[in-house]
Amino acid sequence: MKKWNKLIVFSFIAALLMLAAPHNASASISVSARNAIIIEQESGRILYEKAANDPQRIASITKIMTAILAIESGKLDDMVKISEKAVRAEGSSIYLKQGEEVKLEDLVYGLMLRSGNDAAVAISEYVGGSLDGFVYLMNQKAEEIGMTRTHFANPHGLDDDENHLSTAFDMAILTRYAMDNEKYQKVAGTEVHRAPNPTEAWDRVWKNKNRLLTELYDNTTGGKTGYTKRAKRTLVSSASKGNLDLIAVTLNGPDDWNDHIQMFENGFKNYQNVEVLSEGDIETINDDFYHNRVYLNHSFSYPVTKDEKNSFEVKYKLTKPKQDWKDEENIPEIVGKATIYFESAEVKSLPIYFKKEDKKEEKSFFDSFRNLFTAIVGVKIDG
């Protein structure tokens, strides 16, 4: 009887342990931040989130939007005259002087590396025509890229407006968008920047405040720090390892450096990018009209755990060939789409292209010979 009692107790303990064990890769993450998220950059897949859609104050990670708008303005080589309003901006500063002229590109570096609020105002006045004009552009861009729970009221993130709010998810969307820009990537990933100082004999030298980039985490590729009394510590960072590019965001995170390292390490350990569809010919389509004549112009990869590798399904939908397609010139460039499903949810749709025969390759040997003969005779006649 005692044997059976021991067996029952052992089975009960084993069952409890199985219930307590993490059932997915994100279950082992525990962050200090009130709001957090980590996504894979290319696909946008969320690997972990914690209250990621709650609107909160975001402090200086606001400047990611300010930076990308300045970069997209196409005016980085312009010289910006610094106004009194810019010089009088509160909080962190790169110590601009009224009346001096500074290259817009250098202002963006000062904005991102040293979080200069004076740089943010100077950029907004120049790119937007006014601070209010720039804020309009910020909200317009936010709507354009799908930041549905965000409202910007200034270019720097100071607590001067009750409605300057965003979410961890929206800031991940913004950073994903910004990281598609090579110039932004370079600025966000720069450890030290040197800029001319027009009123002094020495250059301005700015070291990046992002300690993940400069000393704490070797895989870091960029990011932006933030802090105000009301927002507390906010942080956006990006990191790459192997074939994974990750973006992490924390809001009100007292231990944010370690929060980000933990999220990155968990992501790199448990996920890998799997190529679901390859660029080139689609060999699985056996339709008489389309066989060996359709292709994808780029591949598609998606981050998964080992247990999720067989969770994909691909469905092809092709346009029914029309009567006038007997003439190949009438066949459209795109003739269908390939839709990728992951665990029954659609994650991507890619256009299917039709491969037309190259007319130049159809030229016969006789045509080539005739053209050559005509050319020789023409030379003789014309002398």
Chain segment 38-61, per-residue pLDDT in tens = 999 999 999 999 999 999 999 999
pLDDT digits (tens, 9 = 90+) for 98-111: 999 999 999 999 99
Residues forming CATH 2.30.140.30 domain(s) in the chain: 274-358
- Taking the C-alpha atoms of residue 102 and residue 94, their distance in angstroms, rounded to an integer, is 12
63 is annotated as an active-site residue: yes
Please report the DSSP string for 49-62 in residue order: EESTTS-B--GGGG
Marked catalytic residue, from 92, 115, 166, 301: 115
209 catalytic? Reply is no
Q: Which residue has the tokens 């044997």?
A: 3
Please list, in sequence order, all residues whose beta carbon lies within 8 angstroms of the beta carbon of residue 104, skipping any fewer than 6 positions away: 70, 73, 75, 76, 77, 78, 79, 80, 123, 126, 127
Question: Worst-scoring range by mean pLDDT, 112-116, 192-196, 284-288?
Answer: 284-288
Please give the CATH topology (third level) of the domain spanning 274-358.
Spermidine Synthase; Chain: A, domain 2 (2.30.140)
pTM assigned to the model: 0.84
**Residue spans in the chain of domains classed CATH 3.40.710.10:** 28-270
Whether residue 62 contacts residue 164, with contact meaning beta carbons closer than 8 Å, is answered with yes
CATH number for the domain formed by residue range(s) 28-270: 3.40.710.10
Read off the amino acid at residue 1. Answer: M
Catalytic residue among 43, 50, 63, 124: 63
pLDDT in tens, 292-325: 999 999 999 999 999 999 999 999 999 999 999 9
- Structure token pair of residue 237: 């960072």
Q: Known catalytic residue: 81?
A: no
